[in-house]
Structure 1
Amino acid sequence: MLYRFAHKTGVYGVSIVEEETQRILVKVEQVIKHPKQGDLHNPTDVEDVFFHERKALSQYEKRYTTKSQLRPFDVAELPYTESLQQALSTLETKLLKEDTVHAQKSLTNLQRLKEDYSVQYKKNFI
């Protein structure tokens, strides 16, 4: 059974690997929303900040969380690489509609990330 799990600015479909009294170990099965690019504390700033490149959590990556962080899974189940491609495309489409320096820098980051993902998952991300 999958759950929705938000981590930083990304959202993932996860399965429970292990439950303890205070925490739950989850494993990433798919990407629902790709993390935003840039500085989280100054979301639209590009000057005088470190503009972070943020990767999605990897397939089968594990994280500890609490039960309260898990939500009902309300999207179609997809294989990891398909869900990653869909999340990238959704974010790119949104950024292409914005005419800002932040959007341009974010698109540059996403292009580099697609190259990294292509090597990591042996699939061409467009």
Structure 2
Amino acid sequence: MQNQDKVSLSIGDIVTATYKTGEYIGELTELSSPRGVVKILAVIKHPTQGDLHQLYEADVAMFHQRKALAYTEKALVPLSAIHPYSGSIPGYKESLQKAVQLEMEMLSRTGDWARRALEQLEELKKDYTF
């Protein structure tokens, strides 16, 4: 992981940003230490489903459903979670579809918690247009 103090970020840079439990590629549109605003262009990792305080527990009071940030949605992200990105930027819909699929494959191997999270992702897939 890069030391943020040694990385120079500028408005207009293409970056990766970790926001809550998702990871995204986006454009840095505002920079005001200790945070920056990132306009979402693609999804790398879909947000985690369930109760983050009781990870992998299926029988909890509130099993949270978390959507990925939308295309061009802006997120206020700590600078420590923003890093330069130099690769090609995949299309948003394709990246979202891939991120959902990867998350579902990982969850299919983790028991009851995974079953509940998969149910939430199936519901979210109905809302997404791929």
TM range (shorter): 0.7 to 0.9
Aligned to 2:42: 30
1:51 aligns with 2:63: yes
Aligned to 1:86: 98
Structure 2: distance between partners of 1:24 and 1:111:
32
RMSD over aligned Cα, in angstroms?
1.7
Structure 2: distance between partners of 1:36 and 1:22:
25
Pairing 1:70-85 to 2, within 5 Å after superposition: 70-73=82-85, 76-85=88-97
Aligned to 1:103: 114
User: Which ranges of structure 2 fall in alignment gaps of 5 or more residues?
Assistant: 1-12
CA 1:21–1:107 in structure 2 vs 1: closer, same or farther (change >3 Å)? Answer: closer
CA 1:38–1:14 in structure 2 vs 1: closer, same or farther (change >3 Å)? Answer: same
Give the aligned residue type for 2:24.
Answer: Y
The ranges of structure 1 where at least 4 consecutive aligned residues each deviate by more than 6 angstroms after the TM superposition are none
Q: Secondary structure at the match of 2:83?
A: strand
TM-score, scaled relative to structure 1? 0.84
Structure 1: distance between partners of 2:124 and 2:27:
25
Cα deviation, 1:10-64, whole Å, max 9, x if unaligned, reads: 0011101123455422100100000110001111112233100010011101122
Structure 1: distance between partners of 2:109 and 2:87:
24
Q: How many residues are matched?
A: 118
Aligned to 2:53: 41
Structure 2: distance between partners of 1:106 and 1:10:
14
Residues 64-73 or 79-88, more deviating: 64-73
- CA apart distance, 1:77: 1.8
